[in-house]
Each structure stands twice: as structure tokens, then as C-alpha cells.
Amino acid sequence: MNVFVLKDEAAIGKVVGDLFCDKVLQKPNAVLGLATGATPLPTYQRMAKRCKAREVSFKGVTTFNLDEYCDLPVEHPNSYRSFMRAELFDNIDIDLQNTHFLDGNTADEFAQCAAFDALIEEKGGIDLQLLGIGRNGHIGFNEPANAFTDGTFKVELTPSTIAANSIYFTDVPMPRYAMTMGVGSILRAKEIVLVATGSAKAEAVKAMVEGAIDPQCPASALQKHENVAIYLDPAAAALLSR
Ligand code: PGA
């Protein structure tokens, strides 16, 4: 794991946004794994800015989003499909047909999860995966558990995640279930970039970077991957000992 501490979230957004743009410049048909939440917003703003300046084009790019809520209409503003349209896809020149999401309202979750993992493989695998981290150490919606997950699956969200994300749900109750790429699916990405900002993430960051590889901190599985970069602000890095 390569850990970088930058001065603030704007600086991280610039560096990580440029990493994604550089990947696409090197490989115009790159497969990108994308994340939602507050953390990636500066990264997405940087990508949009460079696309608008015609420095990079996402026309040939394919994306897979890590996760999606269950039992929430896709057109709801809190669905991750809506989030990605508003925060990135409507601001770059990507072909929406090449953006892939899990369907949290599917009648056959097992078939859909298997098809999602198979489609990632068919597209050649994820070249660069963006991750955030939950306060409880989750990546995607892989919550603390007794064993690491492998492929994409349906998960019951923990009270910690529900507490963190409920603030976004003002009109409907926050969903209790989600579909997510498993830890195994995430580790199959060729390169991974994880961003964490703010003191609420400091404990989880310490467990991820310096703790044992333990499914109680799903992000600690990233220690097993050969090409992971972690970008932190000083508050998220505060508990690291080195
Ligand atoms: P956040 O979520 O970026 O909104 O903090 C990150 C996550 O839960 O993975």
C-alpha cells in the first residue's frame, strides 16, 4: 500500500482526478470502477473540468459502480445511478450505455450479481478502481463480517452505515439493503485508489493500513493487493503511527 497525505480534499481531488484522466489518456477504452459518497466529489469535479477543457475524453470509457441501494426507485435522487449522473456523467462526454450499475430492485439478485461480475470480466476487468471507506471500515457496502466476501452480492446494511447515510434521506426511509461488489470483485481490479478525508475516518484508516488483515475491517483486505494508493488528508491520517 502506498499512503499519501495531502493538505486537503481539494488537493486530493486534483491528484486523484488527474490519475483517472491520465489512465484514460493512456487507454481511451479504460474500464473504471467508480464510487459514490461525499469523498469522491472533488475527484469527479476535476475529471469534469479537464473534460470540459477538452484535455481528455471519456467517450470510449466503460464504468462499473461499486454498489446500489435496494428497494429505491432508480430515478430517486438518492439512487447511486442518479448520483453519478448529477456528479459526473452529465458533466463529461461519456456514453451512458457504457455505464453499468447494479439493479437494487431486481427480482433475481443472484443472477444479477453473477451477470455483473461476468460483465466486468468480459470487458477485460477494471483498470482503475476508486474507493472511499466507511467509518466502520467498509469498502463498497462490504460491512464488517466474520469472513471476506468474494463476488457481488446483496447485503444488509449495518447501523453505522445507516447512521452515516440517513442524513441524505429526507423524504423516504433509508434502504436497509444494498447490492455491492464483493471484496473479491474489488481486489480483482488491476489498480485501486482509495480516498479518505476527515477525522471520522481516522480509526478505519488506521485499521486498514496498520491493522491485521481482518474481515472486521473489510478495507484491510487491500493490504493483499499489489497496486493500491491511499490518499488521505491530515485528519484522516491522524492515527497512523508512521
Ligand atoms: P463518504 O462514504 O464518502 O460519504 O464518507 C464513503 C463510504 O461509505 O464508502
pLDDT at 236: 98
Q: Which atom of ligand 1 is nearest to the CA of 131?
A: 9
The CA 40 to ligand 1 mean position distance, Å, reads 8
Residue 11 lies in a domain: no
Global pTM value: 0.97
Domain residues for 125? 26-232
52-61 average pLDDT score? 98
Residue 242 lies in a domain: no
The CA 96 to ligand 1 mean position distance, Å, reads 24
Distance (Å, rounded) from C-alpha 206 to C-alpha 241? Answer: 8
Q: Which of 68, 117, 143, 233 is catalytic?
A: 143
Residue 202 lies in a domain: yes
User: Percent of the chain having pLDDT more than 70?
Assistant: 100
Q: Which of 65, 136, 142, 165 is catalytic?
A: 136
Residue 156 lies in a domain: yes
Q: Name the 3-class secondary structure at 19.
A: helix
Q: Which of 65, 138, 165, 233 is catalytic?
A: 138
Residue 17 lies in a domain: no
Q: Catalytic site residue 143?
A: yes
Can you say whether residue 154 is alpha, beta or left, with left for phi > 0 and alpha for psi between -120 and 50 degrees?
beta
The CA 39 to ligand 1 mean position distance, Å, reads 6
Q: Catalytic site residue 75?
A: no
The pLDDT-based confidence of 92 (bands split at 50, 70, 90) is very high
Residue 135 lies in a domain: yes
User: Cα dist. 60→21, 44, 90, 126 in Å?
Assistant: 13, 17, 15, 14
Distance (Å, rounded) from C-alpha 152 to C-alpha 95? Answer: 24
Rg, C-alpha atoms of the chain: 17
Ligand 1 pocket by Cβ (under 6 Å): 37-39, 132-134
DSSP state of 87: H
Residue 6 lies in a domain: no
pLDDT at 242: 78
The CA 28 to ligand 1 mean position distance, Å, reads 28
The CA 163 to ligand 1 mean position distance, Å, reads 12
Residue 157 lies in a domain: yes
Cβ atoms of 33 and 119 within 8 Å: the answer is no
By most ligand atoms within 8 Å of CB, the mutation choice from 12, 39, 68, 155 for ligand 1 is 39
Number of domains in the chain: 1
pLDDT at 31: 98
Q: Catalytic site residue 67?
A: yes
Whichever domain contains 79, its CATH number is: 3.40.50.1360
146-167 average pLDDT score? 95
69-79 average pLDDT score? 96
pLDDT at 17: 98
DSSP state of 142: B
DSSP state of 88: T
